[in-house]
Amino acid sequence: MNQVKRQLNEHVPFDEKAKKLRNLTFHKNDIEVTCIEHLSNEIFYEIFDYLDGCDIFDIFSKLNIRFKRLILYSSLPIKIYRSISSNQITEYHYQKFIIPHRHRIISFHIHDESYMSSSFSLHMIDASFNRLESLVLYRIQYNILILFLPDLSTLPRRFSLKIDLYDGLRNFSELYGLIFRLPLLKYNKISAFRIFSPILQPYITDEYSPIEHLVIDHECVIHELVTILSCTPRLSHLTCKCLNSNSSIKREIPRNISNLRYLSINVCYLQFDEFETFIKKSFPHIRVLRFASHWDSSYLDANRWEQLILKHIPYLRILNFKYNEGIYNQLTLNPYHLNLNRFLSPVWIQRRWFLELKICINTFLPATITYSIQPLKKQWYEWHNEANSNEIIIYPTLTEQKCINTSFSQLHLTLEGPQSVEYYRSVQEYICSIATLVQFTSLHIDLCYFSISILLQLLNILPNLDSLTITSGLPEKTKILSKEQINMFRSVSSHNKITKVNLEQITELDQIHILMDLCFHMCDLQVKCRNIFDGKWLVRYVLNKRNTNFIPYLCSICLWISEANNEMMNNLQIIIDTEKLIDNYTIKRICDKIYLRWNEHL
């Protein structure tokens, strides 16, 4: 039997795997197959790729001679994955399947050693597993792991190792020293809670590790990370869950780690001075930087960021940075707040990085503000330019920069959380102060918590908005407005510049009507619909309003329907043509969205 080449694809998302299986067409001699036994071996190889090896052995090996040969006498790669919900790997599995076929195992996931057969020992994993490419150890005890790790040095292939420690990381130097001595390890992830020793020893090993991708899924101190970097010259991708400072222990920061291209720190507790020095000395060739920080407002100093980027990390293409700040009774603006507009300078515009402020009003103090810098993504209303709305716009080359319109800018504001008059007043004062310094172009608001009056107030103090996203339906009492609210409504409607409206939860036509009245200059409308029936009445209603000049500038509608398909799109097209709602239009489906666009001037 021909050897079937397989790639280890444990990281492929389940949805992609499912789509791949659904797209398989079963034919034999150009006749559609109706019996499972008529399927080719290649089809079963695809199916087996998604199943646990022990399950395949239990289910298929005793069906008939064909399957017995396929399972036991082929070179079919085997993946062993037994979770708590699976049956236990028994003595029978080891003796009849795993041990005789260990040379075919490419992936071995061990959930809990106490869950394995009493005859199995981790020390059985040795050079005889000559195709092993992935080993995952869940809920393993520290002492058992330390005794087992040296055995992995005999594995003949480059492999990945994931470890989840059940009883915590007791000795950082001991564990990482053993891991870094594995000669063919290319990927490593360690998940654990920390047990810090009274005396921290930064020394790990004098040897260099071949690891290229490292995930530190536990708390780490800066001098420990520095030690890791000094031992991993081939490292290109580094993720750290939590990075702390330790001023009592100093270690020389390694210089020019030339292979590192990706750095992600989920929570960074370093002061900006320390972080800046770390980045300057170690990562001159970094391409992607993602991290979140707290407490030190120096992280909001756009001028320092510009100098850091231009002089020390000029190859940076993607920056994803978040800084969280609390608002108690009143937020005091410091010089960094007053200079937020520096994040709209050409350095940021040319790289297509935009600033977003997210304000969350909590039930109890403090309210929180998250400042984030991130790459600009294609928006839903740009579908006619690019099919993939999630594509990140990568920072262009120096030549391409010269062609970029430097007037481009994006500043987003998101407001969410349970309404509280006291807290909102403080937040409103903050927004008013910031709005005098920078021009917000996009507002996201959850009207489940905020009234129409607050929405009108925000639109009034943010006159440069171009985009409005409402993440829940309008409150019932919106239908009844006071005289004062009506006057403000008319004023906001006549003066706002909003051209793009995104409604993520609309259940009544009255709500659509109010927002169309409020946003007279609307050009693009997206609505999340519960089903195609909502989409049909929405298209009829909106297009009829447009044809009566109620919303004369509207030129596109996007229906966001979770089960959208081509049949739904065709039905909409029939309705539009039969009822002659518009002419000269285009209609297109991309995933779960149906886009309808027509000429602006007919």
**CATH code at position 463:** 3.80.10
Gap between the Cα atoms of 118 and 400, Å rounded: 64
Q: Which of 136, 160, 182 is the last residue of a domain?
A: 136
- Whether residue 354 is predicted with pLDDT greater than 70 in this model: the reply is yes
Q: Which of 136, 155, 186 is the last residue of a domain?
A: 136
What pLDDT was estimated at residue 104? 95
Least confident of 294-308, 309-323, 388-402, 414-428: 388-402
| Mean predicted confidence (pLDDT) in 275-281 | 92
| Mean predicted confidence (pLDDT) in 433-457 | 81
Looking at the domain assignment, is residue 576 inside a domain?
Answer: yes
- Whether residue 361 is predicted with pLDDT greater than 80 in this model: the reply is no
What pLDDT was estimated at residue 435? 80
Residue 100: which residues within 8 A CB-CB, separation 6 or more? none
Looking at the domain assignment, is residue 109 inside a domain?
Answer: yes
Best CA proximity match to 543, nearest among 560, 525, 521, 519: 525
| Mean predicted confidence (pLDDT) in 494-505 | 90
What pLDDT was estimated at residue 207? 77
| Mean predicted confidence (pLDDT) in 335-357 | 87
The amino acid that residue 568 corresponds to is M
DSSP track, 253-276:
PPP--TT--EEEEEEE-S-HHHHH
State the sign of the Cα–Cα–Cα–Cα dihedral 361, 362, 364, 370.
negative
pLDDT band at 368 (very low <50, low <70, confident <90, very high): confident
- Whether residue 411 is predicted with pLDDT greater than 50 in this model: the reply is yes
Total tally of structural domains belonging to the chain: 2
Judge if pTM exceeds 0.85.
Answer: no
Residue 158: which residues within 8 A CB-CB, separation 6 or more? 133, 184, 185, 186, 210
The backbone torsions φ and ψ at residue 219, rounded to the nearest 5 degrees and listed phi first, read -65, 140
Looking at the domain assignment, is residue 218 inside a domain?
Answer: no
Tell me the CA distances in angstroms from 263 to 206, 235, 294, 391, 429, one per residue in order: 24, 10, 18, 20, 37
According to the 3-state scheme, what is the secondary structure of 421-455? HHHHHHHHHHHHHHHCCCCCCEEEECCCCCCHHHH
More confident residue, 434 or 523: 523
| Mean predicted confidence (pLDDT) in 480-489 | 79
Q: Domain limits at 65? A: 35-136
pLDDT band at 373 (very low <50, low <70, confident <90, very high): very high
Which regions of 245-352 does DSSP assign to beta strands (E)? Answer: 262-268, 288-294, 318-327
Q: Which of 116, 136, 156 is the last residue of a domain?
A: 136
